[in-house]
Homo-oligomer: A and B are copies of this chain.
Amino acid sequence: MFSTKSRYALRILIDLAQQGRDDPVPLKDIAERQDISKKYLEIIAKDLVKGGLIKGASGKHGGYMLTRSPEEYSIGEIIEQMEGTFAPVACLEDNAEECPRAGVCRTISMWTEFYELEKNFFFGKKLSDLL
């Protein structure tokens, strides 16, 4: 199951895209429209800023903005920013230490195949496809 962080992150980006890219959108408004705790959205927004997916503007009339147009966001990178990885098993993670069973493992090729399928699916879908 994907975490609420991923699902809420998607909803933040969808909301930002729907509001247009002219003015910063305050989290308070997003929280009200999406009916999600503003405090929790702050945590998610922070991760999105860290990943360069949105940028924040402090102060009055501040808020958050997309850094690109919706066609330029893949769903994959949004989810990956929140989940860390799409790897279905730890040994397929980027920084994975070599599995001692690698030589005899009968399942790794299946996991790899699924991993590729999943990445192709989510990196192929764009934010603009959800609008």
User: Do the beta carbons of A110 and B1 come within 8 Å of each other?
Assistant: no
The residue in chain B whose Cβ has the minimal distance to the Cβ of A105 is B11
Chain A contact residues: over half helix, strand or loop, or mixed? helix
User: Do the beta carbons of B14 and A106 come within 8 Å of each other?
Assistant: yes
A122 to B115 Cα, complex, angstroms: 12
In chain A, positions 91-131 with a C-beta closer than 8 Å to chain B are: 106-107, 110, 113-114, 117-118, 121-122, 125, 129-131
Identify which of B1, B113, B117 contacts A87 (C-beta below 8 A): B1
Sample of 20 more A-B contacts, CB < 8 Å, known A10-B107, A110-B130, A117-B117: A1-B87, A1-B89, A1-B90, A2-B88, A2-B89, A7-B89, A7-B107, A11-B106, A11-B107, A14-B106, A75-B110, A106-B130, A106-B131, A110-B125, A110-B129, A113-B121, A114-B118, A114-B121, A114-B122, A117-B121
Query: Chain copies in the assembly?
Result: 2
List of B residues within 8 angstroms of A88 by Cβ: 1-2
A88 to chain B, nearest CB (A): 5
A21 to chain B, nearest CB (A): 17
27 contacts between A and B (CB under 8 A): A1-B87, A1-B88, A1-B89, A1-B90, A2-B88, A2-B89, A7-B89, A7-B107, A10-B107, A11-B106, A11-B107, A14-B106, A14-B107, A75-B110, A106-B130, A106-B131, A107-B130, A110-B125, A110-B129, A110-B130, A113-B121, A114-B118, A114-B121, A114-B122, A117-B117, A117-B121, A118-B118
